[in-house]
Structure 1
Amino acid sequence: MSQILQRFAPAKVNLGLSVTGVLDNGYHTLHSLMVPLSVGDDLTFEVADVLTLQVTGADLPTDERNLVYRAAQAYLRAADIKTGVRITLHKKLPLASGVGGGSSDAATTLMALKELYPSSMDLHPLATSLGADVPFFLIQQAALAEGIGEKLTPVELPELHLVLVNPGTEVSARDAYLWLDQSGEFTAELPLSNILHALKHRLNVPYFNALEPAVVTRHPEIAAVLQTLRETGLTSPMMSGSGSTCFALARTAKEAGQAVQILKSHFPMHWCTAAHTLA
């Protein structure tokens, strides 16, 4: 009987995202605290003669245009595997939303294929070749990301409760970074020790997102979400990554759940959910 693996691909948020500059090759240098969350996509993997991908829950391509397909293809080639894998991606996260869904799906694919087709291969270079956020999801815990996102230092955090809202606006990371380049408003490194202290003691968190001003200027619906998050009594609202998902912190899971109900009444067509960070 064919071996079947079922895997969860967690979303992430950036608890602060500083873009300190841009390199000659176009990549940006980052300083960001990233955390995996309890919400995400589901994937199923089964050994097969050839590589195939099926997607449910979203209208996405199922060939080389899909990061999951490219991740599987990259692993099979690097490990010199002559057979394939049948993958089903159950998409639950909003698309192009700043919570790393595609990157997490790709990292999860690499890890699953290494289990189906064991090898001594280091997955980190493959992950880096697929995208700046993909290596983060290999370590499966909070981390400080530096360089172009590939230099990762694990960070211990208390469990955090969050509320996430996505207004249905797809923002490409390429556009968000282009708008930052045009403004030239690069930022200093995050005040990491102050952020960690605030998270531990449930204070207002002194993080920021360098991409947020330019994105919000072009998408007032994101500004409306941030304002409503403030009005619900949640703390430290911010846009995650390149947007358009925004989040804020709650003191407890109960408070997060209550806030979601309030937000759904304000934004009945938005994706709203409570989540907590993963250890």
Structure 2
Amino acid sequence: MKVFEKAPAKINLSLDVLHKRQDGYHEVEMIMTMVDLADRLEMRELPRDTIIISSQVGYIPVDEKNLAFQAARLIKEKYDVRKGVYIHLDKKIPVAAGLAGGSSDAAATLRGLNRLWGLGLTVRELMELGEKLGSDVPFCVRGGTALATGRGEKLQPLPSPPQGWVILAKPPINVSTADIYGRLRADQIDRHPSIPDMIRALREGDFAGICSSLGNVLEDVTLQVYPEVLRLKQCMQKLGADGVLMSGSGPTVFGLVAKQAKALKIYNGLRGFCNEVYAVRLLT
């Protein structure tokens, strides 16, 4: 038996950091949604009790450093599954890009193994498992659009954005989320995104309001360390995207575009500026 799971990328429409917590994590408020750029996972049972990961790309780990491996090991240990699994990752989401590709792979692994092994776990139970793997994993288990608080694991569902296009562009650098958060001084943030305005725009299906409410307090940190991200953002703005923001800790920059013709114009304009460019739909 084989099971297949899609693992979509996420973008942050809003990302605010309130303060650093006693446990070393940061207290955040984020609004996240998913886009139609996805990894695809194939899972099949093995006769011996082992976990094997493979991928068509050679730049990701396929051992215990891989979040899909960790997800498989976690669900096996938690529910005493004495079976093996082979997982093939068809990677499409750029790595270390601020798009939660690894977290989405882990979430897809949890969902897929729940089906493969007939465990009967609820979405809530899978989200609780995902929390042990990373702050973005519960959201990726659930999907859709949500306000995330705490470390990012507490989720409040929100309406998804209206139909529109997303241009994603990643410069040829990798950014460490831990490094960016380590450089952030939460008590010195002078501009916070308006979470209530973004929620209102989502509830009203107001695409222009969503674009005008975009905000990410990590941008200033990443742009100072990696000026190429700033140049990419400025380029996307000049090409006419309706709203432009860096996703997560970067370095991927996304542009929201209402009209397909403009989306294709921006996509073609960026192709000469950046190798990794994608034109995809918002998952509504």
TM-score (norm: length of structure 2): 0.91
Work out the CA distance in 1 between the residues paired with 2:263 and 2:107: 28
State the Cα distance separating 1:159 from its structure 2 match: 2.4
Counterpart-to-counterpart distance in 2, 1:16 and 1:185: 18
1:273 aligns with 2:271: no
Give runs of aligned pairs for residues 189-208 of structure 1, distance below 5 A. Answer: 190-198=193-201, 200-203=205-208, 204-208=211-215
Q: How many residues align?
A: 274
Q: Which is worse superposed, 140-149 or 154-163?
A: 154-163
> Which segment drifts farther, 188-197 or 147-156?
188-197
Provide the residue aligned with 2:226 in structure 1: 219
**Is the Cα contact below 8 Å between 2:167 and 2:280 reproduced in 1?**
yes
Instruction: Give distance in 2, aligned partners of 1:253 and 1:79.
Output: 47
2:217 match: secondary structure = coil
Residues 14-73 of structure 1, C-alpha deviations (whole Å, 9 max, x = no match):
001001111111111111110011002111100112211112224222111111100010
- C-alpha deviations, 1:196-234, integer Å up to 9, x for none? 455633324222111110110010100000000100111
**What amino acid sits opposite 1:89 in the alignment?**
L
CA distance in 1, matches of 2:250, 2:188: 17
CA distance in 2, matches of 1:201, 1:126: 34
1:97 is matched by which residue type in structure 2? A
- Unaligned stretches of 5+ in structure 2? none
Q: Provide closer, same or farther for how the CA distance between residues 133 and 146 of structure 1 changes in structure 2, counting only shifts above 3 A.
A: same
SS at match of 1:153: strand
> In structure 2, how many angstroms separate the alpha carbons of the residues matched to 1:148 and 1:189?
17
Does structure 2 conserve the Cα–Cα contact (< 8 Å) formed by 1:58 and 1:91? no
- Look up the match of 1:177: 181
Counterparts of 1:5 and 1:125, CA distance in 2:
22
Question: Could you say what the CA RMSD is over the residues aligned between the two structures, in angstroms?
Answer: 1.7
- Aligned-pair CA distance for 1:264: 0.6
2:142 corresponds to which of 126, 139, 143: 139
Aligned counterparts, 1:68-87, within 5 A: 68-87=68-87
Partner of 2:119: 119
Deviates more, 1:257-266 or 1:129-138: 257-266
Match of 2:36 among 38, 41, 44: 38
Post-superposition offset of 1:186: 4.3
**1:254–1:7 Cα change, 3 Å:** farther
Residues 1:202 and 1:141: Cα distance change in structure 2 (over 3 Å): closer
Find the aligned partners of 2:159 and 2:258 in 1 and give their Cα distance. Answer: 18
The alignment-based identity, stated in percent, is 32
- In structure 2, the residue matched to 1:228 is 235
Query: Which stretch shows the higher mean deviation, 192-201 or 112-121?
Result: 192-201
| Structure-to-structure mapping, 1:157-176, within 5 angstroms | 157=160, 158-176=162-180
Contact 1:161–1:275 (8 Å) recurs in 2: yes
Deviation at 1:189, TM superposition (A): 6.5
